[in-house]
Chains A and B, each alone.
Chain A
Amino acid sequence: MALIKTSAQGLTADATNLVLLNTVTTTDATVSDIDFDSTYITSTYVNYIVYINVKPVTDGTNLRVRFFVGGTIKDGSSDYGVGALTEGAASLNDNDLDYIPISSSNIGNGNGESVFIKLELGNLTSSTFSSGALFNNTSLGSTHLHTMRFGSGIANYQEANDGIRFYWGTGNFASGSTISLYGVKS
């Protein structure tokens, strides 16, 4: 879908307005979490799109997302359900997880290795409908071979979220990792 910059506030897609809310980039290798809080996750938008270009410091890990409710992280053992297909690995079907794994499990930290993910978050700020995540990633894994995962996750609670956290299964984000958060105008 073509994106056309129409104003200082954001981008206009063919049928949907995407508003760039924030882009963050790590400048060293000491960052373990990348969060967007209630400054950006507000009732102004119910749906969001996130473009993620990141690399782990530690080889062979996966990228995860969690939500916040009332400023408190949702990390209960049954807070999320996930289904995903991953290239070269068994499919994932788990209705009781404490996070949503949005990338393959073996993202590499070598030269050129990294992961690109498009993440769509639906009903994120709705207290009526469950918040859902659709994700698709392409990456160079820890053996410098292509890996892919696509799938979806759901919050097993009906509360409005007001924050998002991205983190690795282990370790920090490499310097230069970038995440851009867009709000989707209804």
Chain B
Amino acid sequence: MPRYKLVNGIKIQFTAEEITARQAEETAWNNGAFDRAMSELRVKRNRLLAETDHLALSDQTLSSDMTTYRQSLRDITNGLTTVADVEAVVFPTKPA
């Protein structure tokens, strides 16, 4: 299908050179999909860890459930190799 640019509202068809250049950019973007997904996953994981950091201070006793929860968060990126893997991740439930 032809691609176009809209210049001041006027539709102009891409040249072959423009198509090639754009496809190269799009390939680069698509190739970064897994890294972007993992980055967002880590941001959420780190936020959840930070919410319970205070329970892991040296003057606190961390419950077994909380220890398991925090370790699950740390391990949540293990074995992920595709965007679909990342999107299928289910975060553990925070202990009461």
Contacts and interface: CB of A to CB of B under 8 A. Distances in A.
A34 interface: yes
Interface in B40-86: 40, 42-44
> Which of A37, A60, A170 lies at the interface centre, i.e. has the most chain B CB atoms within 10 A of its CB?
A170
B13 to A, nearest CB: 9
Nearest to A58: B26
B26 A31 contact: no
B5 A35 contact: yes
B39 to A, nearest CB: 5
B7 A169 contact: no
B8 A37 contact: yes
A35 B40 contact: no
B6 A34 contact: yes
B36 A32 contact: no
B14 interface: yes
- Interface residue range, chain B: 20 to 34
Interface string B1-37: 1111111110100100000001001100110010010
A88 B6 contact: no
- Interface residue range, chain A: 20 to 34
A24 B40 contact: no
A30 B1 contact: yes
A42 interface: no
B29 A170 contact: yes
A165 B3 CA distance: 15
B43 A32 contact: no
Contacts of A169: 25-26, 29
Given A24-B6, A33-B5, A34-B5, A88 B11 contact: no
Minimum-distance CB pairs A-B, first 8? A33-B5, A169-B29, A170-B26, A24-B9, A35-B7, A32-B3, A34-B6, A31-B6
Given A90-B42, A90-B43, 6 more contacts: A24-B9, A26-B6, A32-B3, A34-B6, A37-B8, A106-B36
23 contacts: A24-B8, A26-B6, A30-B1, A31-B3, A31-B4, A32-B3, A32-B5, A32-B14, A33-B6, A35-B5, A35-B6, A35-B7, A35-B8, A36-B7, A37-B8, A60-B33, A89-B36, A89-B39, A90-B42, A90-B43, A169-B25, A169-B29, A170-B30
